[in-house]
Structure 1
Amino acid sequence: MDSASRHVDRPRGWPRILSEAGAALSGVLSLIVPVECASCGLPDAALCPRCARALRDATARPARCEHRAPALVEHDGGVLLAAVAAGSYRAELSQVLLAYKRHGAARLRAELGRALGRSLRAAVGSPRIGEREVLLVPVPTSGTAYVRRGFDPLADLLRWLVRHGLCPAGTRVVPALAKRRRGWSRVLRDVALAASGGSGQKGLGRGQRRARLAGSLVARERGSPWGSRDWRPLRGRRVVLVDDVLTTGSTLREAARALEEAGAVVLGAAVIAAVPAPAAEHAEEQKADIK
């Protein structure tokens, strides 16, 4: 296992404890509660052998996908942010992702973790002698989604990758992004939405969602992995963004903006699945319900 791949900078304190406890509880429940295949519904298996094979085939050849996301390309086709996806958000892959994000399960974690690992390796490429490490920066989950699920699925998958030595050589997972702090009224509103199963983005158009996301993420200033109170540690560092599903690309653009303001060099992004462009607008509304 590569020494850089072994290392991961994790959130500290209660956020880390709650996230890991939530993921562990989900895994225990999946063992004692009757389960069925997340894709076909076959009983007694979180993912049956046939659907597992189909999922692996669907994610065996990661490919560039920024052309599917309107926010990642210019009107003339120029690329604003390159992105790689392990597969298309459909069939077994979409069903397994939804099931994992809603309930969590060790079997699903392993399959999705391997798919994400393949996407990361395609996005990062082979390290060159003398190059500094690449930081893998996950897009943080929303407070509403965290309250609803009790764990952070993307962080859980990245921990699994690090634990099994499947991150690309010469990389390090760093949670260098955070949600911008908001007033208590906004926090309470999000908690109420989570309790009611609602979503603040559902029904918004692409432009409205992009406007709402603007300024919503910041590079970590305090409690950063480098122990600094400012953004200087990110300056000049090479970064690949990590997310689960690519829809319109607005979230990745906002993440890239926050990191670039801190001086990072954003090389691109890696995701597990990308929604086909014509369906991205509708899928963004669905994602808002589970993100």
Structure 2
Amino acid sequence: MQGVWRELAGLVLPVDCAGCGRPRTELCAECRRALARDGCGARRVRPWPSPAGLPRVWAGAPYADEVRAVLLAHKERGALRLAGPLGEVLAGAVRGLRPGGGPHLLVPVPSARRAVAGRGHDPVRRTALAAARELRRSGVGARVLAVVRQRRAVSDQAGLSARQRLANVAGALEVRGAAGRLLTGRSVVLVDDLVTTGATLAEASRVVTAAGGRVIGAAVVAAPRSAFAVGGEATVRLPHGP
């Protein structure tokens, strides 16, 4: 219900642009163009050290400037209508992963139940649904199958090293009961809003594969700017930690 009230409030109360702060618009035309421009540069990224089992990952845009601001506004401030433009960027990453391919079965990485309750919505699932709509508009079949969930609580990943994140999410995900039958023999694209160490995507890939799905890769809205700073296959370098 929190998400519904936030969306209704956004229709009647003055808001500022999530990208630049310009008043009385949730996303101004300039920031929307910037988001679309950044989303045209989908690239493959690879965290380093790369966790075992991480599928190939494509990111739609660098996690900086308007993209970072819009992601945070959608995720943390409940600006629900921003799922549309973010979904367009995510759709670009899916296309990069499977150029000309389809249909696409998109499986969102689950948010923690506590986080969903606090935010009033699941930002990754909402963005995945918007990406699927964008893909269908372009003539590519796409469907979202939200069958992965958390089986135990995990700590906030922010501030954790690569090694700590791996330990934090190890064994934390599962496929929902009988929903595994929907994955058997199917080609799956995992989707998330952001990749850093890749630990969560690797764990999601493990449980989907164990349920009979065939993970062909992962698509995310954004990755750190350093991942887009070099030619060829980009690399995100993160500390091992203690």
AA paired with 2:111?
T
AA paired with 1:126?
G
1:172 corresponds to: 143
1:45 corresponds to: 25
Q: Deviations 1:81-129 (Å, cap 9, x if unpaired)?
A: 211111100011001100111223354222112111222222233237x
Partners of 1:178 and 1:168 lie apart in 2 by 30
2:187 corresponds to: 238
2:217 corresponds to: 268
TM-score, normalisation: structure 2: 0.83
Partners of 1:156 and 1:249 lie apart in 2 by 21
Q: How many pairs does the alignment contain?
A: 230
2:48 corresponds to: 70
Partners of 2:107 and 2:163 lie apart in 1 by 25
Partners of 1:159 and 1:233 lie apart in 2 by 18
2:127 corresponds to: 157
TM-score, normalisation: structure 1: 0.70
Partners of 1:50 and 1:134 lie apart in 2 by 31
Listed as ranges, the matches of 1:102-117 within 5 Å are 102-105=76-79, 107-117=81-91
Partners of 2:42 and 2:95 lie apart in 1 by 9
Partners of 1:73 and 1:209 lie apart in 2 by 10
2:73 corresponds to: 99
| Structure 2 unmatched runs, 5+ | 228-234
* Residues 247 and 158 of structure 1: CA distance in aligned 2, closer, same or farther (over 3 Å): same
* Residues 163 and 210 of structure 1: CA distance in aligned 2, closer, same or farther (over 3 Å): same
Once the two structures are TM-superposed, the CA of residue 22 in structure 1 deviates from its matched residue by: 4.1
* Residues 73 and 212 of structure 1: CA distance in aligned 2, closer, same or farther (over 3 Å): closer
Q: Are residues 1:218 and 2:174 paired?
A: yes
**Secondary structure class of the residue paired with 1:263:** coil
Q: Deviations 1:137-162 (Å, cap 9, x if unpaired)?
A: 10011112112101111222233344
**Secondary structure class of the residue paired with 2:171:** coil
Checking the alignment, whether the CA contact within 8 Å between 2:60 and 2:90 is kept in structure 1 is yes
Compare the two structures and name the one with the higher helix fraction: 1
Checking the alignment, whether the CA contact within 8 Å between 1:117 and 1:168 is kept in structure 2 is no
Quick check: which has more Rg, 1 or 2? 1
Partners of 1:213 and 1:48 lie apart in 2 by 37
Compare the two structures and name the one with the higher strand fraction: 2
Partners of 1:248 and 1:85 lie apart in 2 by 13
| Structure 1 unmatched runs, 5+ | 1-20, 191-198, 225-230, 283-291
**Secondary structure class of the residue paired with 2:11:** helix
Identity %: 38
Checking the alignment, whether the CA contact within 8 Å between 1:47 and 1:107 is kept in structure 2 is no
Partners of 2:80 and 2:114 lie apart in 1 by 23
| Alpha-carbon RMSD | 2.7
